[in-house]
Amino acid sequence: MKKSAISLFFVLLFVPIGFLHAESSDSASEVQKVEIIVDSYSFRPDNLTVEAGKPVEVTLRSIASTVPHDFTIDDPESGFSITHDVKGGRDATFTFTPENAGTYRFYCSKKGLFGASHAEKGMVGTLVVN
Ligand SMILES: [Cu+2]
């Protein structure tokens, strides 16, 4: 009787620790979620910090009325290159995994028929990969 009470005590002691351990290993592999408000002509926030080697899920939320925009990184030195479109007023979600630590410029690569590119109008930002 006394013996089983002691084993029950150990079960109650260790089960919650097991749960905590499972949760912490889950969060280690967790996707890094980032939300960016896209407008004509800005990204908010325009400064992102993520960890290398872990997937980053980006949601672009366009509040631009009709103008399509995109999220582009084109770093020739590291070969890090992505571009994803978002239509005016829509959301777009994509995932990428930054492999190398560094500071990267992201921008909108769209350009009207006349005048400055969207990047020149202010659609630029910085992605810091640690
Ligand atoms: Cu744009």
Name residue, tokens 């080697």. 53
- Ligand 1 centroid to residue 110 C-alpha, Å: 5
- Ligand 1 centroid to residue 39 C-alpha, Å: 8
**Sequence spans of domains, the chain:** 1-30, 32-129
- Ligand 1 centroid to residue 8 C-alpha, Å: 62
Q: Which fold has domain 32-129?
A: Immunoglobulin-like (2.60.40)
- Ligand 1 centroid to residue 15 C-alpha, Å: 52
- Ligand 1 centroid to residue 40 C-alpha, Å: 6
- Ligand 1 centroid to residue 113 C-alpha, Å: 13
Q: In what side-by-side order are the strands of the sheet with 56-62?
A: 42-44, 32-39, 56-62, 91-96
Q: Specify the pLDDT at position 22.
A: 46
Say what the pTM is: 0.77
Per-residue pLDDT of the chain (130 residues; tens, 9 = 90+): 455 554 555 554 555 544 444 444 455 568 999 999 999 999 999 999 999 999 999 999 999 999 999 999 999 999 999 999 999 999 999 999 999 999 999 999 999 888 899 999 999 999 999 9
Q: Specify the pLDDT at position 7.
A: 55
- Ligand 1 centroid to residue 99 C-alpha, Å: 26
